[in-house]
Amino acid sequence: MAAPTDYLAQLDAWNVKRLADLKGPNGWLNIIGRFWLETGTVTFGSAADNDLVLSSGPAHAGSITQDDNGTVTFTPVNGVPQVLALAKYNPPRFTVENLLCEVTTLNGENALRIRDTASAAPAALTGIDAFPADPKWRIEAEWVSLETPKGMTVDTSKSIPTDVEATHKAVFAIDGQRYELFATHGTATSPQFVIRDLTSRDSTYPASRFVFGEDVTDTTITLDFNKAINPPCAFTEHAVCPLPPAENVLPIRIEAGEKRLPDSH
């Protein structure tokens, strides 16, 4: 499938939104902490007498309690306790002044992740270096449904293995050579491919990049490698990112999409 006639303009707009999302209140640049929760109660805030001492925010933001059943409750300072509705794909959130807090779940374990919406860190990122955009890297692939879902155990940036299940694979050709990528995350309309290629040796983030499938039909999917992005763990130590399964490590250079960030970031 040929790229749209205004493809480069569309890609420019996509890159603008990508940077804005990263720098926004829900982005990955303003996270100031991620703390695993255990049974019991912990207080958090910027004062030194908290169990979890933050780099910014109110002196005392409240407390988090996790009971023996894994139920998590947030209690504001001098406020009413709030039982949080835990959900892996839609973590519960609450705010305390400039702090945007959420409780994430991974492998059945809960963690408190905190963003500082007043952080100056997002302003320090003015852009992300990338390969020159080239429509040839927008590829229509076969979208092959697996007869039996493929179970995989993938590692993460924090060495926490997670079990995933792939139901489809994308099959495509580059310079006449056939390749396959398994979608291990994402949604039915936006399958996520965690990949690594030979540019990871010198140009792109060494651990992985993410590509999200587009224009999904029963039999086809578009892979736009110009939109290959750095994972959250490239921007913050407080993210847990999946690493590519062996099937998604490509023995070629995909000179498209985002490059690694400078060491100064």
d(CA 34, CA 121): 17
Question: What is d(CA 60, CA 54) in angstroms, rounded to the nearest whole number?
Answer: 10
Look at residues 163, 143, 144, 139 and name the one whose alpha carbon lies nearest to residue 153.
163
Distances (CA, A) of 235 to 13, 100, 222, 238: 21, 18, 27, 9
**Order of strands across the sheet that contains 220-224:** 177-182, 162-174, 138-154, 220-224
Tell me the domain boundaries of the chain. Answer: 7-24+127-248, 31-118
The CATH code for residues 31-118 is 2.60.200
In this prediction, residue 138 carries a pLDDT of: 97
Of the candidates 163, 73, 156, the one whose C-alpha atom is nearest the C-alpha of residue 112 is 73
Q: What is the spatial distance between Cα 34 and Cα 192, in angstroms, rounded to a whole number?
A: 24
Q: Report the pLDDT value the prediction gives residue 1, as an integer from 0 to 100.
A: 57
CA dihedral sign, ordered 217, 141, 146, 240: negative
State residue 89's pLDDT score: 87
Please name the residues in contact with 247: beta carbons below 8 A apart, sequence gap of 6 or more. Answer: 180, 181, 182
Q: Tell me, what amino acid is at 74?
A: F
Please enumerate in sequence order all residues whose Cβ is within 8 A of that of 248, keeping only pairs 6 or more positions apart, or say none. Answer: 181, 182, 184, 193, 194, 195, 196
For position 14, what pLDDT does the model report?
97
pLDDT in tens, the chain (265 residues): 567 779 999 999 999 999 999 999 999 999 999 999 999 999 999 999 999 999 999 999 999 999 999 999 999 998 999 999 999 889 999 999 999 999 999 999 999 999 999 999 999 999 999 999 999 999 999 999 999 999 999 999 999 999 999 999 999 999 999 999 999 999 999 999 999 999 999 999 999 999 999 999 999 999 999 999 999 999 999 999 999 999 999 999 999 999 999 875 5
3-state SS, 77-120, equals: CCCCCEECCCCCCCCCEEEECCEEEEEEEECCEEEEEEEECCCC
